[in-house]
Structure formats: C-alpha cells, structure tokens
Amino acid sequence: MFKKLLRTGLVGILAFALVIGLSFNLQADVVEIDYYYGLGGYLGEVTEEMIEEFNEANPDIHVRGITYGDFDEALQAFQAGVAAGDPPAAVMLEPTPTVEFAGRGILASVSDLLAADEDTDADDYYEAFFEMSMIDGEQYAIPLFGTTQVLYYRHDLFEEEGVDPEMLETWEGMEEAARILAARDDVQYGWMPMWGRYNMMDAAFARGGQMISDDGTEVLIDSEEWVETWEAFRRWIHDDEIMGIHHSGVGWEYWYDTIDDVLEGNAAGYTGSSGDQGDLDFDIVSAAIQPGWEGYGDPAPVGEARYGVIPANISEEKQEAAYRWLTFFSSPEKTAEWNMRTGYLAVRDSAQDIPEFAEFLEDNPQARVPLDQLEVASPYFIDPTGGDIEQALDDAADAVQIENVPAEEALQEAKERAQRALDRLN
C-alpha cells in the first residue's frame, strides 16, 4: 500500500513538474517588447486598447506600451535607451528624427519584412507619408497616422454674432472675425493659435515662404513672407489682444488648456490637430481648413505622419514582433478605426473602402476636413541639420508669441543661428 501511494505521489509530482515546465516553456516562447509613444489623455487610452487587442490576438507576442508626456519626451527616452544599449523594440517618432536616425544606422530597415508579408501591401500606404521614411530605396518606418492642423470654431458663437464662417477662408477674414468675437463680454479671445512654431509656419507657407533655398544652401526664414506673417501674429496677440495662447506646462497641458478654453466659451476658436476630434463636442464646434492670404491663392498647411520605427541593435525575433505590432496598428481596419475615434488620419488608401469608415465620413463632416486639407498641404520639412533649424524657429516663436519680440528681430536671429548650422553641412 505504501509503495502504491509512493508511486502515485511520484507520478503526481512528475506530472506537476511537467505542467510547470510546459508553462515555463510557453512563457519563454512569448516575445516581450516595449513600445514608446508620446500620446496622453484619450489618445493614450485608445492606444492602450489597441495594444490589448493585439496582445489577445497574438499570444506569442506581448507588447507593453510605455507612454510619455509628449513626442519629445518619448524621443529622449528612446535616445537614452539606444545609448545604453537597451532600446525599446518600437517607438513612435516624428518625421525629422525618423529620417535622421535612419541615416545614422540606428534604425532597422523593414523592407525585407514588408516584402515577405503577404498580408500588408506597401503600395496601399499613403505615398507621401510612406516615401518620406525611405532612404536609398530602403524603408525604415511604418506610417502610423497622419495629421494636419485645422481650424475649430464655436459655430454657436459665430451665429450669435452674425459672423459668417466663410470669413475663416483668409487670414484677413480671420482677423476681422476674431475682433468681433473678442468684443463679447463672455469671450476673452476671438481666436487661439496653438503655442509653438507650427501654426505660424503654416501661415508663412500660405504666403509663399520657404524654409531653405531650392539648392539647400540658404536659410530663408527671415524673408518678407515670414516676417509679415509672424508680425501679424505678434500684433494680434500682444497689441490687439484678440488672440491668445497657452504656453508651458507639463506635456500636452497647454494643448488641452486651449481646447478647454474653446469648449467653455472663453475663446471662439483655435487652430489644432486633426487628432483633437475625439476631445471636442461637435454639437457646438465645427471644423474648417486653414486660411490662405488674400492674393496668394490656396492655403498650404503641412501634412505629416507619425512613424513607427524599430532599432537596428535588437534581436531579429524582437524586430519581427515589433513589425507585426506596427503593421497591425496601421492595417486598413485599424487605421480607419483610429481615424474615426481620434481624428488622426488613416494612412492606408484602402481604409476609405471600408463601409463603416465611408459612412462615418458621410455622417461626420468635421472628419472630412483634415482629409480635404491634405489636397493642398505642404510636405513636412526634414531638417538637414538634425533639428537646429527647427530649434531656432521654436525659440523665435517663443520670442514672438510670449515675449512680444518684433518678428523681424526674432527671425533674423533665428536665421543667423540656423544658417551657421546649415553651413557646417555644406
């Protein structure tokens, strides 16, 4: 009897050990990867939902999403990981660092993975977004979503004051509308540009401004087109006080403060991202494309993408896992869902063939506005200096928007700094 019990016990122990061993082996077969991204609030929540959905559908991969306050913080964390030899398997980046890191050999090419992937048609990606991250015929990134800055305005306030939304088709009309709306006792600002260089760059491009000369040797950000445009913004903010900005704060705090001002009626409108649409109430808000200038033709706001990239110095196993996550996120079905839920733009041509997305665009005219704006959009400027020209413009924007420095002075100083950086390359 004792021997029988002993044998039974040994069998049980061996079976238990076998189960434990299998469990360890199964766990060992799961590829764990980190994904860095700089989206907070509602956008972060949607991202985490998509990560959870991917993990459930792909039991051999576990993506851990790590969010940062904004794109710059995510970039800095990625750089620190690369320097320490321990980068995440995937990170969301803006265009300039994507191209810079690809050129420096920091990123892995995804060309072979795309070629071997029967479920992902590279030609289906929006061409302008896809080709921006291609260097010498090699693809170094997967476009995750597109974005462009559009106008959001309180149509109820416009109607109450008899302001025709068509006034927003030109900057001159925008100025007049902002002046009328700012005169209301309950409205502090007729309009709120978003803090930073981007809105004022878009307005300068609409006047014909360029970042650098066609031959790539001269910085042009102190030209008449730039100075007149940025001086108009300085005047509207500081002299006329019909416009205002929120600045500083933690991460995207300034951005959400701007949105709150519009939703609460402290401002009659603002210029913001296509990705703001998930945070807005379109019972009181409408969207419109950015203005042009009288006598200068169409507006020319920038259309750009955010990219998913994979570092070169991680295992092939992790690279493949990261690729599967990025192509899941950017699949026609998921990019359409992302567009519908957030307002950030789908990156696949076939997304608009999905019935739910086509119906959504029909029922939600504000979602069509950023897509229409891409028809007149300017390409994103890839800073050849790796960011020195952009930083000079950032500082000039702070000087104009926050410190009330005349645009000519701020842009001249920025041009000199940027030119020195560019000269070091030529």
Is 359 found in the same domain as 395? no
Secondary structure E strands in 357-402: 378-379
3-state secondary structure of 285: strand
Is 391 found in the same domain as 354? no
C-alpha distances (whole Å) from 422 to each of 101, 189, 218, 416 are 18, 38, 8, 10
pLDDT, tens digit, 9 for 90 and up, residues 248-257: 889 899 999 9
Is 418 found in the same domain as 296? yes
Looking at the structure of the chain, the number of domains it has is: 2
Is 392 found in the same domain as 346? no
- Average pLDDT value for residue range 406-426: 97
pLDDT, tens digit, 9 for 90 and up, residues 53-66: 999 999 999 999 99
**Banded pLDDT at 40 (limits 50, 70, 90):** confident
pLDDT, tens digit, 9 for 90 and up, residues 290-300: 999 999 999 99
- State the burial class of residue 97 (Cβ atoms within 10 Å of its Cβ: 0-12, 13-18, 19+): buried
Is 409 found in the same domain as 386? yes
Mean pLDDT across the chain: 93
pLDDT, tens digit, 9 for 90 and up, residues 172-222: 999 999 999 999 999 999 999 999 999 999 999 999 999 999 999 999 999
pLDDT at 21 > cutoff 60: no
Name the pairing type of β-strands 61-67 and 31-37.
parallel
Is 186 found in the same domain as 74? no
pLDDT at 71 > cutoff 70: yes
Selection from 402, 403, 69, 76 nearest residue 249 by Cα: 69
Question: What six digits make up the tokens of 33?
Answer: 């990867």
Is 165 found in the same domain as 227? yes
pLDDT, tens digit, 9 for 90 and up, residues 101-142: 999 999 999 999 999 999 999 999 999 899 999 999 999 999
- Asked if residue 93 is part of any domain, the answer here is yes
Distance CA 359, CA 219 (A): 45
Q: Which residues contact 403 (CB under 8 A, 6 or more apart)?
A: none
pLDDT above 70 coverage of the chain, percent:
93
CB contact at 8 A, 147 and 301: no
What pLDDT is attached to residue 237? 99
Is 142 found in the same domain as 200? no
Is 188 found in the same domain as 112? no
What pLDDT is attached to residue 161? 98
pLDDT at 24 > cutoff 90: no
pLDDT, tens digit, 9 for 90 and up, residues 259-286: 999 999 999 999 999 999 989 999 999 9
pLDDT, tens digit, 9 for 90 and up, residues 358-387: 999 999 999 999 999 998 999 999 999 989
C-alpha distances (whole Å) from 114 to each of 169, 305, 353 are 41, 19, 22
Domain that holds residue 220: 147-302+381-423
Is 309 found in the same domain as 283? no
Is 171 found in the same domain as 37? no
- Asked if residue 321 is part of any domain, the answer here is yes
Phi, psi (degrees; rounded to nearest 5) at 122: -60, -30
Is 312 found in the same domain as 294? no
DSSP designation for 311: B
Residue 49 or 29, more confident: 49
What pLDDT is attached to residue 1? 44
What is the CATH number for 224?
A: 3.40.190.10
CB contact at 8 A, 285 and 155: yes
- Asked if residue 106 is part of any domain, the answer here is yes
pLDDT at 246 > cutoff 90: yes
DSSP designation for 147: E
3-state secondary structure of 67: strand
